[in-house]
Amino acid sequence: MKAIIFDMDGVIVDSEPLHFELERSLLEELGGKITKEEHKSFVGTSDYHMWSTFKEKFNLKPSVEEMIEMKKERFIENIYRIELVENFQEFMLTLYNEGYPMALASSNNKKAVNAIIKKFDLDRYMELFISGEEVSKGKPDPEIFLTVAEKMKIEPTACLVIEDAYNGVRAAKAAGMKCIGFQNKNSGNQDLSKADLVVENYNKLDIDILRKLFN
């Protein structure tokens, strides 16, 4: 194990409930409506994929880019409501003190990622931040994780990903990386069965458990 890559929403910050609220509110304003289960299927995918799907399904008037921008602004306005996932900070500090390089690879847009980095001072501890806008293919395609490995100059097989979404786990495994599925109840009932290990809280993890995944 030479690097740890975190997803952001639902893994670092408990933001999925806010995303759900804002996205469904905006969608209904524009004339569409989906069930909670339908909405949860988009967890871990890119903004572009989700709003493209909504535009086609409901024949929405604004462009995909306009809808992404509307949601982006509302998220930034409400960022004060977001908190770190329970015990994440302690876990991150343990990795940092052990000298492990860390990165963030989020399907979210760059503006939202930067706002979270700033709010929680993540750039003090993590070396690299990649948003969904910086790759051409969203999860479950492995491009975002392979991009992180390339930029950090670390073999994909030496990387560990922590993900809370079905699409994210699929992307990590497609990249040839080890993956811990983080079962966050606020991310919906995500199928994390393809992960190498599934946990519900960071207090269930320590350095020895992570290293054993690579033995």
Q: Residue 59: which CATH number?
A: 1.10.150.240
pLDDT, mean of residues 137-150: 96
The two structure tokens encoding residue 88: 């994440």
pLDDT of residue 74: 94
Minimum mean pLDDT range among 71-75, 97-101, 141-145: 71-75
Are residue 125 and residue 163 in the same domain, yes or no?
yes
Pair (184, 93) in one structural domain:
yes
Alpha-carbon distance of 7 to 82, in angstroms, equals 16
Residue 44 above 80 pLDDT? no
Do 11 and 41 fall within a single domain? Answer: no
Task: Check pLDDT > 90 for residue 1.
Answer: yes
100-130 pLDDT per residue, tens: 999 999 998 898 999 999 999 999 999 999 9
Of 109, 201, 210, 183, whose CA–CA distance to 117 is shortest? 109
Q: Are residues 27 and 66 in the same domain?
A: yes
What is the span of the domain harbouring residue 208?
A: 3-15+82-212
Residue type present at position 162: I
The residue behind tokens 């497609």 is 174
pLDDT > 90 fraction of the chain, expressed in percent and rounded: 86
Same domain, 111 and 203: yes
In the Cβ-directed half-sphere of 208, how many Cα atoms lie within 13 Å?
2
Per-residue model confidence (pLDDT) at position 29: 96
- CA dist 184 to 7, 145, 200, Å? 12, 21, 6
Question: Given this model, what pLDDT does residue 193 score?
Answer: 97
Q: In this structure, are residues 62 and 71 in contact, taking their beta carbons and an 8 Å threshold?
A: no
51 and 88 both lie in a single domain: no
Distance between alpha carbon 8 and the CA centroid of its chain, in Å? 4
Per the structure, the count of domains in the chain is: 2
Mean pLDDT of 153-178: 97
Looking at 80, 98, 119, the residue that finishes a domain is 80
Average pLDDT over residues 128-146: 95
Among residues 25, 58, 80, which one ends one of the domains?
Answer: 80
Is the model's pLDDT at 142 over the cut of 90? yes
With 0.85 as the threshold, say if the pTM is over it. Answer: yes
pLDDT band at 68 (very low <50, low <70, confident <90, very high): very high
- What is the rounded average pLDDT of the residues 36-60? 90
**Whether 125 and 197 share a structural domain:** yes
**Does one domain contain both 71 and 164?**
no
- Cα–Cα dist 71/24, whole Å: 10
